[in-house]
Chains A and B, each alone.
Chain A
Amino acid sequence: GAGVSQTPSNKVTEKGKYVELRCDPISGHTALYWYRQSLGQGPEFLIYFQGTGAADDSGLPNDRFFAVRPEGSVSTLKIQRTERGDSAVYLCASSLTRDTEAFFGQGTRLTVV
């Protein structure tokens, strides 16, 4: 597809479980970003990849959150021991380079019950 694709679109999990959220960026985009958006708030930055490496992970809230991008394309956001406070929409974005326009996916709505 032409845009950033995120799967699943919705995920319901039980407190304490492990979840993985997937992001397929636009082909050829070297930069990839994860954001989290709680209800009524703007998106909050989590982590930025340039190629395969995490160039800035300062937004990750704690060590239960981890993200990878092993081949410089698809990225997976992993959340261990989920808590109810992790419920939010997780947005992925990509850009051709780190300075150019970022394109966002539709997000994955995570609900922890």
Chain B
Amino acid sequence: DAKTTQPTSMDCAEGRAANLPCNHSTISGNEYVYWYRQIHSQGPQYIIHGLKNNETNEMASLIITEDRKSSTLILPHATLRDTAVYYCIVRVATTGANNLFFGTGTRLTVIP
């Protein structure tokens, strides 16, 4: 699976949109972009995933560039409960199992 690069940490004001970037310049055509987050002392939680089209669910939006070399996770109205480490993961969904490579992620702090 291709590796990803994320900023170590970010701050966001409560109520504002949080935009978390991820670079995956070596992504292959059959690799998906997954996002998980981990709130302190809890297990990781699935957020969203996509292949090439932008995706939106009740938690977040995922914007993938046309060349698929980078993506952005958007939390539209960040709350204090969104403070967590966010992991961007690239994997082949259809042939691989969920043996995910997490990396060190981005620590997002939502500020009151």
Contacts and interface: CB of A to CB of B under 8 A. Distances in A.
Given A42-B87, A42-B105, A95 B98 contact: yes
Q: Chain A, interface size: which category?
A: 20 to 34
A91 B99 contact: no
Interface residues on B, range: 20 to 34
Contacts of A40: 104
Contact of A106 (B43, B93, B100, B105): B43
Given A93-B43, A104-B45, A105-B43, A55 B97 contact: yes
15 contacts: A33-B97, A42-B85, A43-B44, A43-B102, A45-B99, A45-B101, A48-B99, A55-B97, A93-B44, A95-B98, A99-B93, A99-B98, A104-B43, A104-B44, A106-B42
Interface of B: 38, 41-46, 85, 87, 93-94, 96-105
